[in-house]
């Protein structure tokens, strides 16, 4: 059984890699047309830019470090804040009813318009970018935690109370485990949004960061460098998402595992 599962996973990886090769090959062939290459770049030139960034010139590390710092800080602050606030409002129906219209209004606000305000408050350093990214991460985590707490089975709560569980014990052994799966579900989305907030903040005002490099390349119509920046950010977003997946498997080991390869 294990061998069969491994075999299916290997075939799945093969088809995934083959699809990537086909897409890159089609891009390379289409890029022979100058008009297409002007708008979509050339994969070989994109690879050369990335190689120069990391090896030949090695000048991206400072910019990448700044963007990753902004992203990780926003991800951590937004996750902790969303978790705490979601638990509080999920458990306090009075506070939830009072604050519901304000939370809905805040979530409906286009967060990009806050970037200039954060720039005035925190300056053009990393904290204005962190603040913008936190607003993106916070609401994703908050609403998932809030929903997870609200959907705890009333039967389970009644049984726990009958057995003498205190409020703290209910929080530790019932509410938090119930919300945990919702939290990790939101974290996969939050990783990408943390990068979005950091990069958008760099677009609107910065002197360093991968977003700054992309903005400079756009100013000179250097589409290959733009795509190189997109590729770098995507790869690191996937790495962070993979770390979240490992943490999810560690903390949600009790959850039944599903094998997606069985659907193939």
Same domain, 68 and 187: yes
The pLDDT value given to residue 226: 92
Please indicate, yes or no, whether residues 15 and 136 belong to a single structural domain of this protein: no
CB contact set of 76 (below 8 Å; sequence gap of 6+): none
Same domain as 48, residue 25: no
User: Which three-class secondary structure string do you get for 48-79?
Assistant: HHHHHHHHHCCCCHHHHHHHHHHHHHHHHHHH
Give 1 or 149, the one with higher predicted confidence: 149
Region 77-95 average pLDDT? 86
pLDDT in tens, 32-84: 888 888 888 899 999 999 999 998 888 889 999 999 999 999 999 999 998 88
Query: Into how many domains does the chain fold?
Result: 2
Residue 98: per-residue pLDDT: 86
Q: How far apart are CA 152 and CA 247, in angstroms?
A: 23
For the ranges 27-31, 33-37, 64-68, 106-110, the lowest mean pLDDT is seen at 106-110
- Looking at residue 88, its pLDDT comes to 85
In a domain, 63, yes or no: yes
What domain range is 159 assigned to? 42-263
User: Do 179 and 214 belong together in one domain?
Assistant: yes
Over residues 111-130, mean pLDDT:
84
- For helices 176-204 and 115-122, the axis angle rounded to 10 degrees is 80
Measured CA to CA, the distance from residue 213 to residue 178 in angstroms comes to: 42
Residue among 259, 131, 233, 252 nearest 187 (CA): 252
Specify the pLDDT at position 76: 92
Residues 23 and 47 in one domain: no
State yes or no: pLDDT of 89 exceeds 70. yes
Do 197 and 92 share a structural domain? yes
172 shares a domain with 63: yes
Same domain as 8, residue 100: no
DSSP type of residue 261:
G
pLDDT above 90 coverage of the chain, percent: 20
200 and 127 together in one domain: yes
109 falls in which pLDDT band (50, 70, 90)?
confident
Do 157 and 72 lie in a common domain? yes
């Amino acid at each position: 059984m294990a061998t069969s599962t491994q075999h299916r996973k290997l075939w799945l990886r093969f088809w995934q890699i083959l699809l990537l090769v086909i897409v890159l090959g089609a891009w390379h062939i289409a890029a022979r047309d100058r008009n297409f290459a002007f708008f979509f770049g050339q994969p070989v030139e994109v690879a050369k830019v990335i190689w120069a960034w990391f090896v030949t010139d090695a000048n991206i590390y400072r910019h990448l470090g700044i963007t990753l710092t902004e992203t990780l800080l926003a991800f951590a602050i937004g996750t902790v804040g969303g978790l705490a606030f979601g638990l509080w409002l999920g458990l306090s129906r009075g506070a939830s009813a009072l604050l519901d219209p304000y939370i809905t209004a805040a979530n409906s606000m286009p967060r990009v318009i806050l970037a200039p305000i954060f720039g005035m408050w925190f300056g053009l350093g990393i904290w204005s970018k962190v603040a913008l990214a936190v607003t993106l991460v916070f609401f994703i985590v908050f609403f998932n935690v809030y929903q997870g707490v609200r959907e705890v089975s009333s039967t389970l709560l009644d049984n726990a109370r009958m057995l003498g569980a205190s409020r703290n014990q209910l929080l530790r052994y019932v509410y938090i485990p119930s919300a945990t799966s919702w939290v990790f579900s939101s974290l996969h989305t939050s990783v990408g949004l943390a990068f979005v907030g950091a990069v958008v903040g760099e677009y609107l005002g910065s002197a360093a960061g991968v977003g700054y490099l992309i903005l400079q390349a756009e100013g000179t119509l250097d589409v290959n460098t733009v795509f190189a920046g997109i590729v770098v950010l995507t790869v690191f977003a996937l790495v962070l998402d993979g770390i979240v997946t490992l943490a999810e498997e560690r903390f949600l080991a009790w959850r039944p595992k599903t094998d997606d390869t069985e659907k193939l």
